[in-house]
Amino acid sequence: MAAPFEELDPLLHSQLRLAVMSLLLSVREAEFTFLKEKTGATAGNLSVQLGKLKDAGYLTLTREMNGSYPLTRCAITPQGVTAFETYVQALQRYLKPPGSA
């Protein structure tokens, strides 16, 4: 059994990365512009955070051209789903540790 106050995944503990993962969990795949609009992040910051999530294997990035415009699609991976679910479960244990009323 896991300790009630296990370490939270520092990668998901960031507000922007957590927001991106939450959005992708519900839609599975989204364009960069959708994520930028929904999170209110700057393009530069979002790009950096997506890179960190990609490097961790939590999402995939697909870049292509749509006419003369670049199009980046992000999709959550099975590893990303598991990491998110584990993070939420750990957070729930913080909110209601064993033995609490």
Q: Which two tokens stand for residue 62?
A: 């697909």
| pLDDT over 70 percentage in the chain | 90
Residue 63 bridge partners (DSSP): 72
What's the rounded Cα separation, in Å, for the pair 21 and 75? 9
Domains and CATH numbers, the chain: 15-79 (1.10.10.10)
Q: For residues 23 and 73, what is the distance between their CA atoms, to the nearest angstrom?
A: 13
pLDDT in tens, 26-69: 998 999 999 999 999 999 999 999 999 999 999 999 999 888 88
Place of tokens 């795949």: 29
